[in-house]
Amino acid sequence: MSNNPLLHLLHVDALTPRGWAKDAWIAIAEGRIQKIVSPCEALPPLEGEVLTLPGWVASPGWIELQINGAFGVDFAEEPQRMWEIAARLPEFGLTAFLPTLVTSPLEAFRQAMKVWKAGPPPGWQGAIPLGLHFEGPFLNPKKKGAHNPKFLLQPNPDLVADWDSANGVRLVTLAPELPGAFELAQSLHRRGITLAIGHSHATFEEALAAFEQGFSYVTHLYNGMTPLEYRAPGLVGAILTHPEITVSLIADGVHVHPAMLKLAYQTRTPDQVVLVTDAMSALGMPPGRYPLGGGQEVFVDERSARLKDGTLAGSILKPVDALRNMMEYCHASLESVLPCLTSTPARVLGLANKGRLEVGADADLTLLDPQGNLGMTIVGGKVVYRA
């Protein structure tokens, strides 16, 4: 017997870079996709596990670039529990993600790097933490949102000397108009870190200058930034008129009006839109009080998560609902929205082997059942979640 496990998915509709492979056979071994045959007629005898899934949709595994926690745990408050929470994120269809830390004492960021670098406990399986997203602490106090102002800092490259890809730092959100922000951004960019604009009071002109400096991604478009006004287009205007900038959107219908989501979608291609949840620690939990980084308490009801003063503090959005909402608000097909959860976040991180269903790619798949509900999550060729 081969010690390479084999898994076969039969009669699924697979979204590939060339469009739908209808009624397909997907063969998986050694953690990679070995074969996609459509339609899957006249099969040879198959070795290994066979799952027959007529009417199911096989999407590339969903990749989440902004999630602050789940199941009662906040990644900034308890970074040591990162792997434990990662093990459960396939319950939301996620196959990979960036644990995201909001503004916190710098020690919390250091602790998260240590935990990420130490790797998973033996026998662990789950959604793969591809690295860390640091949302803060170099944010504009005028657009702080739910970030604790006590821990916001002025940009200073000396404070981030250990922020690099070897320590897991993949994405940093900062306000480019702060004094010293460009110098700090350049030092991060040289270390392979993707630069995101967010929680920023940048004007239209300051935004254009930031794009020149290598900021290529925007954290939760509309939220925490200068709005679109007709004589002062602001950061939002600079983004929506730019040909290349990629944006993330929180499509819960609470953070952003559906019409504004549609506007973003119409001015970008799906390759320039990432659906994020910005979910906080209450994701997957009943309403109640939950922690948020920076030592804060958040009040969570059925629809939203807020600080005591009513400020939105992350979401409780599930990726499958973000997908459904975008389809509904933008009158868009499944095929045109799925890249926002798959190939686009993979491209933001420069990953060639993820976010695509093609031969040779990592066998990370998120499957929807014939009713469109999340049905199964596969990471590295292993079924890690079944609804």
List residues with catalytic annotation: 278
Strand partners, 25: 10, 37
49: left (phi over 0), alpha (psi -120 to 50) or beta: beta
Return the half-sphere exposure (C-beta side, CA atoms, 13 A cut-off) of residue 284.
Answer: 18
Rounded CA separation 316/326 (Å)? 16
Rounded CA separation 188/26 (Å)? 39
Check if the beta carbon of residue 51 is closer than 8 Å to that of residue 7.
yes
Q: State the pairing for strand pair 296-300/288-292.
A: antiparallel
73: left (phi over 0), alpha (psi -120 to 50) or beta: beta
Alpha helices in 150-284 (DSSP H): 181-190, 204-212, 234-240, 258-267
Rounded CA separation 278/300 (Å)? 14
Q: How many CB atoms lie within 10 A of CB 166?
A: 10
Check if the beta carbon of residue 138 is closer than 8 Å to that of residue 153.
yes
